[in-house]
């Protein structure tokens, strides 16, 4: 009986956190879009507000017993112009990363720009809009990195499937090659698994999950560019390397 009540409490905490995100999108960011006319200033303020909000949400979920978490290598994210590539085991990976990454930028699906609960938020924060996976998206991402933002990308393109097999798309490597910037890999694991692909968000495990986020040493992309001779080949080889890297790290660390 007690364990069931605890689980319901954790489900309530998870749902409350999702509601908090929606409330901000409906009431807070529309005001920012109206009051602050300077786009650059509005973007800076909006991203600070989002980071603070997500830190509060992570703290709320921890206090309510939804999960525990541990982050190592956080000091590596105290820089400008990073291309952060992470595996994607759970629904709230982006919440964690944007809560702890300063000057965080990300790619937002076009449907979120049309969603009434998120439109004002992504507009105020001026995140990279993903209308397709074409040349314009890559150029927008390169520009975001060169402006000094820390661009967060999940190179799988979606959450890791239940099988646990990591399959990377080539877009992230193309951005790294075009921007000529090193890759900062982040490994995320969650045990027992929660908020995974293919399961309802309220289907939480019987005990609190433990998140572990590890910010790894940068991967220098210059050797890939020098040896390949072309951007397309360099991106292909870098994708293969990242595929092997994340797969090996998943096996070695038991990444969720």
Distances (CA, A) of 155 to 42, 116, 119, 173, 246: 28, 27, 24, 8, 10
In the predicted structure, residue 186 carries a pLDDT above the cut 90 = yes
Distance CA 213, CA 74 (A): 9
Tens digit of each residue's pLDDT (9 = 90 or more) over 61-82: 898 888 999 999 999 998 999 9
Distances (CA, A) of 248 to 53, 112, 185, 223: 34, 33, 13, 21
Tally the domains of the chain.
Answer: 1
Strand residue runs (E) in the chain: 67-72, 83-86, 104-109, 128-130, 150-153, 183-191, 209-215
Q: Which of 18-32, 118-132, 211-225 has the lowest mean pLDDT?
A: 18-32
Q: Domain of residue 141: give its range.
A: 2-253
In the predicted structure, residue 100 carries a pLDDT above the cut 90 = yes
List the structure tokens of 188. Answer: 């995320």
The SS3 of residue 228 is helix
27 — pLDDT class (breaks 50, 70, 90): low
In the predicted structure, residue 2 carries a pLDDT above the cut 80 = no
128: domain CATH number is 3.40.1130
Among residues 172, 162, 194, the alpha carbon closest in space to that of 91 is found at: 194
Question: Is 0.85 surpassed by the pTM of this model?
Answer: yes
In the predicted structure, residue 155 carries a pLDDT above the cut 90 = yes
Tens digit of each residue's pLDDT (9 = 90 or more) over 42-51: 899 989 999 9
In the predicted structure, residue 28 carries a pLDDT above the cut 70 = no
């Amino acid at each position: 009986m007690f364990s069931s009540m605890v689980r319901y409490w954790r489900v309530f905490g998870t749902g409350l956190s999702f509601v908090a995100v929606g409330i901000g999108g409906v009431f807070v960011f529309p005001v920012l879009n109206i009051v602050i006319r300077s786009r650059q200033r509005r973007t800076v303020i909006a991203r600070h507000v989002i980071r603070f909000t997500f830190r509060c949400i992570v703290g709320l979920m921890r206090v309510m017993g939804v999960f525990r978490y541990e982050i190592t290598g956080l000091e590596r994210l105290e820089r400008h112009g990073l291309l952060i590539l992470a595996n994607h085991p759970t629904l709230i990976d982006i919440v964690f990363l944007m809560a702890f990454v300063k000057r965080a930028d990300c790619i937002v699906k076009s449907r979120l720009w049309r969603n009434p609960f998120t439109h004002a938020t992504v507009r105020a924060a001026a995140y990279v809009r993903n209308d397709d996976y074409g040349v314009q998206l890559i150029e927008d991402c390169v520009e975001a990195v060169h402006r000094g933002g820390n661009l967060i990308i999940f190179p799988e393109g979606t959450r890791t499937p239940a099988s646990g097999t990591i399959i990377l798309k080539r877009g992230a490597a193309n951005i790294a090659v075009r921007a000529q910037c090193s890759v900062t890999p982040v490994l995320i694991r969650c045990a027992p698994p929660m908020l995974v692909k293919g399961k309802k968000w309220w289907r939480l495990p019987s005990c609190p999950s433990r998140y572990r986020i590890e910010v790894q040493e940068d991967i220098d992309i210059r050797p890939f560019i020098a040896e390949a001779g072309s951007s397309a080949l360099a991106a292909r080889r870098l994708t293969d390397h990242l595929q092997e890297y994340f797969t090996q790290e998943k096996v070695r660390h038991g990444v969720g």
